[in-house]
Homo-oligomer: A and B are copies of this chain.
Amino acid sequence: MQVTLKELARRLNISPSTVSRALHDHPKIASTTKAAVLKLARELDFQPNPLALNLRMQRSKNIGVIVPKISYPFYASAISGIESVAIREGYNIIICQSEESYEREVANTKSLTTSRVDGVIVSLAGQTKDYGHFKDILQKKIPLIFFNRECEALDTPKVVIDNVEAAQKAVSTLIQSGCERIAILAGPQAIHISNQRIEGYYKALSSYDKQARHDLIFHCDYSEDSAYQNTLDMLKKSEIPDAIFAVSDRLAIAAIRALKAKGLNIPNDISVMGFNNDPVTTIVEPQLATVDQTPYLMGQKAAELFFYKLEKPDAPSQKVVMPVQIIKRASLRVLQKSPTN
């Protein structure tokens, strides 16, 4: 059994309140009693009971975290980031996986609120289109933070990347390496993040005075099978693309598989660019160029936004936009500089 504050008081023949004050070095406490308390506390290895503390303080010191899937490397890193700052502040995190399902996400928010978390950090499930469960959280005055996949309609702190700009950079990189017909392998039509990346794709093309071609835009359902199929479809065109920009590394790798199956050389026949900088990008052959999103830092930032909100509940909600970095790898063709230029 752990030693309690009461027990310290009993042994020292003083009242629990005095012990409590000594432990928190309250201004009006005799230095002698304070010393005595601290000494005994150390001797007996006193640890305040967090359960009692939590009840008293009406908080749990837990942060709920809802992500689509912790086995996605992006989220594994983001969680580490969140955890690192939570631990530092004496908080624990409770991780829930929505598995991209709206129903599970709703269930997760319910379970987190009944377990009285002090805040919730979320990256939206792919299927979520209704935000009632998040409004409930806000209404209960529980700080709610989004990261990566956010809900634009809700006024909460959030940390995201500029998906438009990131995609624009990625596609510009392809253009600069000499690609002319760049296809985009996007997600489902309704996915915000995917649409933003399509927008960036358009922007890149137009900034180089290129005409966007609607027949080079492919929507898959985020499954590898469908990415594979869409890639095969691309290759049926009379003039096949000379580059593919996929909105995630997983999709890009499925595309690579399809390209290889058709005997195409990457990057000589076709360049490929992914998104996320997943560890597999260095395993696949050729190594996959991609967009790095610093998920660990995003997680840290999200946690920091939570603590800021906790401290200043009425401060306006910040939207933090993280920089991204293009990672050039062997899946990208190298521009042959023409000697005349």
Q: Which A residues fall within an 8 A CB radius of B? A: 47, 49-52, 54-55, 58, 60-62, 70-71, 73, 76-77, 79-80, 83, 87, 92-95, 97, 111, 114-116, 253, 279-280, 283-285
For A52, list chain B residues within 8 Å (CB): 55
For A83, list chain B residues within 8 Å (CB): 95, 97
Determine if B51 and A116 form an interchain contact, defined as CB atoms under 8 angstroms apart: yes
In angstroms, how far is the closest chain B Cβ from the Cβ of A95?
6
| Cα separation A285 to B257 with both chains bound (whole Å) | 11
For A49, list chain B residues within 8 Å (CB): 55, 116
| Cα separation A216 to B333 with both chains bound (whole Å) | 41
For A280, list chain B residues within 8 Å (CB): 279-280, 283
| Cα separation A265 to B244 with both chains bound (whole Å) | 29
Closest residue of chain B to A295 (Cβ to Cβ) is B71
Determine if B71 and A114 form an interchain contact, defined as CB atoms under 8 angstroms apart: no
Determine if B87 and A80 form an interchain contact, defined as CB atoms under 8 angstroms apart: no
Closest residue of chain B to A107 (Cβ to Cβ) is B87
Determine if B93 and A80 form an interchain contact, defined as CB atoms under 8 angstroms apart: no
**Which of A60, A94, A283: most chain B CB closer than 10 A?**
A283
Determine if B279 and A92 form an interchain contact, defined as CB atoms under 8 angstroms apart: no
For A61, list chain B residues within 8 Å (CB): 115
For A77, list chain B residues within 8 Å (CB): 71
Determine if B114 and A47 form an interchain contact, defined as CB atoms under 8 angstroms apart: yes
| Cα separation A212 to B116 with both chains bound (whole Å) | 59
For A60, list chain B residues within 8 Å (CB): 50-51
Determine if B93 and A94 form an interchain contact, defined as CB atoms under 8 angstroms apart: yes
Closest residue of chain B to A281 (Cβ to Cβ) is B283
In angstroms, how far is the closest chain B Cβ from the Cβ of A298?
15
Determine if B47 and A51 form an interchain contact, defined as CB atoms under 8 angstroms apart: no
Pairs across A and B, CB under 8 Å, 11 listed: A50-B116, A51-B51, A51-B58, A54-B54, A70-B80, A71-B76, A71-B80, A83-B95, A87-B111, A94-B94, A280-B283
In angstroms, how far is the closest chain B Cβ from the Cβ of A274?
12
In angstroms, how far is the closest chain B Cβ from the Cβ of A96?
8
Determine if A50 and B115 form an interchain contact, defined as CB atoms under 8 angstroms apart: yes
Closest residue of chain B to A70 (Cβ to Cβ) is B76
For A284, list chain B residues within 8 Å (CB): 283-284
For A54, list chain B residues within 8 Å (CB): 51, 54-55
Q: Which 7 pairs from chain A and chain B are nearest by CB? A: A71-B76, A51-B55, A92-B94, A51-B54, A55-B55, A47-B114, A280-B283
For A80, list chain B residues within 8 Å (CB): 70-71, 97
Determine if A70 and B62 form an interchain contact, defined as CB atoms under 8 angstroms apart: no
In angstroms, how far is the closest chain B Cβ from the Cβ of A251?
13
For A95, list chain B residues within 8 Å (CB): 79, 83, 93, 95
In angstroms, how far is the closest chain B Cβ from the Cβ of A38?
17
In angstroms, how far is the closest chain B Cβ from the Cβ of A74?
10
